[in-house]
Amino acid sequence: MKNITAKPIITLLCFTLVSTLPLSAQHKKDTTDATSSNSAIFLNAASDSKPREISLGLPTNTSSAVPIFEDGMPVTYYIYQMFPYKSWHGGVSARSTSTIGPMETAMRYGEINNYVDSYNKGGSETFKGSVSYVVGQWGQHKLDINVTGPIARGWGYSLSTYQNFDPGSNHTINPMLKDRHQFYKGVLSKDFLNGRGGMALTYQYVNFMNIQETYGPFVFVGDGSVKMYNGFDLGYDSYRPDIATFTFMDFKTGEMREMGIKEGNTDKTHHLTYTLDYDLGNGVHLDFRSRLRGGTSVRGAGSLSGIENVAESAGYTYRDGTPFSGYLQRRMILHFDAFDTSWMNNAEVQFSRGNHSLRIGADYHFTHGGTTSSSVNFAHSVEADPAIIARNGEIYSNFNSAGEYYDGFENKVAGYVYDEWKPFSKMSLTGFLRAEYLNIHGQSANNIGDDKSNTRYNGFNLTKGKITHFGENYLNGSFGLNVNYVIVGNLAFQADGIFTRVHSNIFNYGGFYDPSTDPTDTKFVRAGISYKNDWVNVVSQVNYINQSNYNTRSIFQHSLTRPVGDLPVGYNESLTLPVTYGIASLGWVTDAMLTPFKGFTLHLQYTLREPKYRNFEFTPTFSDGVTEEYDFSGNNVTNLHKMEIVVDPSYSYGAWRWWLSTRYISKTYINKTNSLFFKGRLETFGGIDYRLSSKCKVSLNVINILNQKGASGLISSADLVTDASGFKDYLMSGTFIRPFTIELGINLDF
């Protein structure tokens, strides 16, 4: 074990592993969500930087979905380009962290999903503090500090910082740190007299440097399993060449530019949030939230785009001119230079009338955002600590064939009403209605009509294309109904029906095709039973979700049949295209929380679903003029597993606590024809806590106890392949989950 100095740390501080311990998932007023109060719902096997995504059977990370709320507001306006996990950290600065379910997210944001929800600490009547420090065996250090205290006359303060230094388990040379996060937060709060509520003003600055480099080569055996390639150990060996900078063509000007790896993968954001909670009297309560946010996001990590076996005669060389032959890993860097300035507001009044609990709310959201994305390709050898490979003396090639550009505005005005009605003691009905007006306008570089001057190609930039303009007005909306009926005793029937409609947003104008203006409709229905007594709380439900006109951008690979510019025959061209299709999934979820005896808790969850494509047909044309036909309708969605089993036991005795979290994820399909797949895998976490005193706790936690590789990826060139025999012992590359890792932590409250 490297870089752990346990005794000095324990002597100085006491902390808990806040970011990776199973957190309490206390759900808000969404009665159909199973109570999973000790489920490790936020543990992410692939990343330490963001919470786990909880899939309902649809693809995650849609451009409009923001799966993290803070202080009652979305962390970011949209998920792209300013990813919400890059400007959010719960930790010791949060007074609560939980989840909100589909009914609430559909009403508040027009999206059906499970979201993380957290609230920041405000001032306190006396000075208080919390310190969390974590050190991991691969050299990671995480420091999380919060202090709160009084000022005068109900005024108080809260000051926080979170610092993360993480070289990763597969140590790279450039940069030495793959993750360097700096969070700074200050809260000025006021508690009103007579318990009428309070208000707070929160400022946060984040500098988030993150290199996505969880890549490596492996051999796909053909039966869903993988094996090591040429000694390369996934999770431990580095697959990033020793380069400190990269070169690209500026998409706007056509000038050649060079940028450092760290500079080219850093987000800088500022948040200013005002919150007001006020009791208006007569049972009426007002919540008001306003967030002003501005920031920039620069990203340039190289994504994988296929492995090719090249001959020496093809003209490939090492940087010193020595001829190269063998397996070549191609990568594409999509250098995003993005910005966003947004202002989000929400006001909500809550009151009761008879047996009705009512909420009436309004939103006004505004954003000015855009991105200039310059694409470039490079290649390196397929091995640990690979070497950069040049062709005809040039390291970088194929400039801006996948470049993107947009600069636009959105104005969103919405209103919603919510009613929880109890017509009699055994029955409650909950319903909501949301109506939203959306205006979008801005400029991009799209093809308009028969004018194809903005079609991307090697060397394209805006001096060779033209600026185009877009503008649309849309009506979006959502509604939902929940029924909860007590059959007998503690046995109840529950059912949900939710509908949402959203339209395209400015992000979708980044390519060279105008996006679809048809609405994306999502329908979600679930029904089942629940039972609760002193030691068991179980919910079992059947659910169905259907989404039409899902808009996204996909990267397709094609082997050129003729030379195109300086690209040779056989070159694997990557083409980014907008695609539109539907998805439907029928599933069954059973969630149980068992407490059979004192100190012991067992959370169990079983999920079974079958997500399938619908209306997925299109015919892209590549640079060599070849048009390929795609029809994936009826096939299983790639990278979405059908079955998931969760087992989370926890036992406390005296000052000790032991916990485990195990998730089994069934096979996932690699290609859209479903002829290739990865076998299922286990994700395992565990830990031991020891409370030295009421204010001091020591933790030892293990990530990926079974050291599963969790290899995943896609073989884009196999999307049309129905005969998998040609892919036995096939060399490919992809991603992996975090390897076996021990982390030692101490938490001190003072």
DSSP conformation class of 448: B
pLDDT in tens, 63-88: 445 688 999 999 998 887 788 889 99
CB 491 within 8 A of CB 507: no
Q: How many angstroms separate the CA atoms of 490 and 426, rounded?
A: 10
If you average pLDDT over every residue of the chain, what do you get?
Answer: 87
pLDDT in tens, 524-544: 999 999 999 999 999 999 999
CB 621 within 8 A of CB 630: no
User: Does residue 303 have a pLDDT over 90?
Assistant: no
| Region 373-388 average pLDDT | 95
pLDDT in tens, 206-240: 999 998 888 999 999 988 899 999 999 999 999 98
Q: Tokens 């208006």 sit at which residue?
A: 280
Return all residues near 328 (Cβ < 8 A) that are at least 6 apart: 307, 308, 309, 310, 316, 379, 380, 381, 382, 389
pLDDT in tens, 568-620: 787 767 666 677 889 999 999 999 999 999 999 999 999 999 999 998 887 77
Q: What DSSP assignment string belongs to 289-348?
A: EEEEEEEEEEE-PEEEEEEEEE-GGG-EEETTS-B--EEEEEEEEEEEEEEEEEEEEEEE
Say if residue 515 is preceded by a cis peptide, omega within 30 of 0: no
**Phi-psi map region of 453: left, alpha, beta (phi>0 left; psi -120 to 50 alpha):** alpha
| Region 21-39 average pLDDT | 35
Q: How many angstroms separate the CA atoms of 346 and 335, rounded?
A: 34
Structure tokens at 261: 């790896």
CB 87 within 8 A of CB 75: yes
Residue 66 pLDDT: 62
Structure tokens at 578: 């907008």
204 band by pLDDT with thresholds 50, 70 and 90: very high
52 band by pLDDT with thresholds 50, 70 and 90: low
Phi and psi of 715, rounded to 5°? -110, 90
Q: How many angstroms separate the CA atoms of 113 and 730, rounded?
A: 36
Return all residues near 464 (Cβ < 8 A) that are at least 6 apart: 254, 453
Give the number of other CB atoms < 10 A from CB of residue 493. 14
Q: Is 265 helix (H, G, I), strand (E, B) or coil?
A: helix
Q: How many residues does the chain have?
A: 750
Q: Is 109 helix (H, G, I), strand (E, B) or coil?
A: helix
CB 551 within 8 A of CB 581: no
If one compares 60 and 217, the residue with the highest pLDDT of the two is 217
Q: How many angstroms separate the CA atoms of 590 and 609, rounded?
A: 12
CB 303 within 8 A of CB 256: no
High-pLDDT (> 90) share of the chain, % = 64
| Region 477-500 average pLDDT | 95
pTM: 0.87
User: Does residue 205 have a pLDDT over 60?
Assistant: yes
**Residue 283 amino acid letter:** G
DSSP conformation class of 460: -
Return all residues near 597 (Cβ < 8 A) that are at least 6 apart: none
Q: How many angstroms separate the CA atoms of 388 and 380, rounded?
A: 4
CB 25 within 8 A of CB 37: yes
| Region 696-719 average pLDDT | 84
Give the number of other CB atoms < 10 A from CB of residue 524. 24
Which of 372, 294, 405 has the alpha carbon at shortest distance from 340?
294
CB 365 within 8 A of CB 343: yes
Q: Is 108 helix (H, G, I), strand (E, B) or coil?
A: helix
Q: How many angstroms separate the CA atoms of 499 and 107, rounded?
A: 10
DSSP conformation class of 11: H
Say if residue 547 is preceded by a cis peptide, omega within 30 of 0: no
Residue 724 pLDDT: 78
SS3 string, 475-500, reads EEEEEEEEEEEEEECCEEEEEEEEEE
SS3 string, 354-378, reads CCEEEEEEEEEEEEEEEEEEEEEEE
Q: Is 105 helix (H, G, I), strand (E, B) or coil?
A: helix
Phi and psi of 3, rounded to 5°? 65, 30
8 band by pLDDT with thresholds 50, 70 and 90: very low
| Region 697-713 average pLDDT | 90
Measured over the CA atoms of residue 261, residue 263, residue 264 and residue 270, the dihedral's sign is: positive
High-pLDDT (> 70) share of the chain, % = 90
553 band by pLDDT with thresholds 50, 70 and 90: low
Q: How many angstroms separate the CA atoms of 103 and 90, rounded?
A: 23
CB 68 within 8 A of CB 115: yes
Helices (H), 196-242: none
Structure tokens at 163: 């610092």
Residue 26 pLDDT: 32
Q: Tokens 């919405």 sit at which residue?
A: 414
CA atoms within 13 A on the CB side of 192: 12
Q: Is 630 helix (H, G, I), strand (E, B) or coil?
A: strand
**Phi-psi map region of 292: left, alpha, beta (phi>0 left; psi -120 to 50 alpha):** beta
Q: Using alpha carbons only, how large is the chain's radius of gyration in Å?
A: 26
Distances, alpha carbon 93 to alpha carbons 88, 162, 357, in Å: 11, 9, 31
Structure tokens at 645: 């089993």
Return all residues near 432 (Cβ < 8 A) that are at least 6 apart: 103, 106, 107, 416, 417, 418, 419, 478, 479, 480
SS3 string, 47-86, reads CCCCCCCCCCCCCCCCCCCCCEEECCEECCCCCCCCCHHH
DSSP conformation class of 25: B
User: Does residue 13 have a pLDDT over 60?
Assistant: no
Structure tokens at 518: 């048809």
Q: How many angstroms separate the CA atoms of 625 and 42, rounded?
A: 47
Return all residues near 649 (Cβ < 8 A) that are at least 6 apart: 600, 601, 602, 603, 659, 660
User: Does residue 25 have a pLDDT over 70?
Assistant: no
pLDDT in tens, 656-683: 999 999 999 999 988 888 888 999 999 9
pLDDT in tens, 315-353: 999 999 999 999 999 999 999 999 999 999 999 999 999
Residue 716 pLDDT: 60
User: Does residue 131 have a pLDDT over 60?
Assistant: yes
Measured over the CA atoms of residue 565, residue 569, residue 574 and residue 579, the dihedral's sign is: positive
User: Does residue 508 have a pLDDT over 50?
Assistant: yes
